[in-house]
Chain A
Amino acid sequence: GAGVSQSPSNKVTEKGKDVELRCDPISGHTALYWYRQSLGQGLEFLIYFQGNSAPDKSGLPSDRFSAERTGGSVSTLTIQRTQQEDSAVYLCASSLRGANVLTFGAGSRLTVL
């Protein structure tokens, strides 16, 4: 597609439920990032995929968070047993190569009640 597509745009869930957030990067982009942005906060790095290399998971805040990228394209971020502090906007970004310009998606706003 022309840009990075994320879905859902908004998700409201109850504490303890699992959620999946999807990112469809720009075609041909080999690098894909997930960031989290809490209200008024910065861009918190979560995970980084680069080509066929093992992902850099150093930013995942707990073992409730996981992500995968199938076929080097679409990525899914999964949050298990959601907590209220997980409420945030989850942003996905992709680039042609790791060092290049990131194009961000519009984000998925997660609200945990």
Chain B
Amino acid sequence: QQPVQSPQAVILREGEDAVINCSSSKALYSVHWYRQKHGEAPVFLMILLKGGEQKGHEKISASFNEKKQQSSLYLTASQLSYSGTYFCGFRNSGNTPLVFGKGTRLSVIA
């Protein structure tokens, strides 16, 4: 089942923060975050395997609330290079495929 991702799009000025949310109607095994810049292939950001786990990647971090079946991606002090489309992906078990949400288009302007 496809993750429900929000917002669909967001525009930020450099230095502002943003949060992208993803939710599932089923229990989750793992959460994955990818970023795709225009005209390029998606690139891995991070994976979260345990409920409540938080991981960070420079000024980008994520949380995973296993009980609520939700994950959030936090972008702090955004930079122009953060622009792109962010996808969350869920796996329901170790044997099921990684299914992505529809994506959030993030635009950072000067």
Contact = CB atoms under 8 A, between A and B. Distances in A.
- A joins B in a complex: yes
Contact of B30 (A53, A99, A103): A99
Interface in B32-72: 32, 34, 40-44, 47, 49
Interface string B77-110: 0000000000101010011111111110000000
A33 interface: yes
B98 A45 contact: yes
Contacts, number: 60
Interface stretch (A20-28, A35-43, A76-84): A35-43
A36 B46 CA distance: 22
A40 B103 CA distance: 9
A99 B101 contact: no
Given A42-B100, A91-B41, A93-B42, 16 more contacts: A33-B97, A33-B98, A35-B100, A41-B103, A43-B42, A43-B87, A45-B97, A45-B100, A50-B95, A56-B97, A91-B42, A99-B29, A99-B49, A102-B44, A102-B98, A107-B41
Interface of B: 2, 5, 29-30, 32, 34, 40-44, 47, 49, 87, 89, 91, 94-103
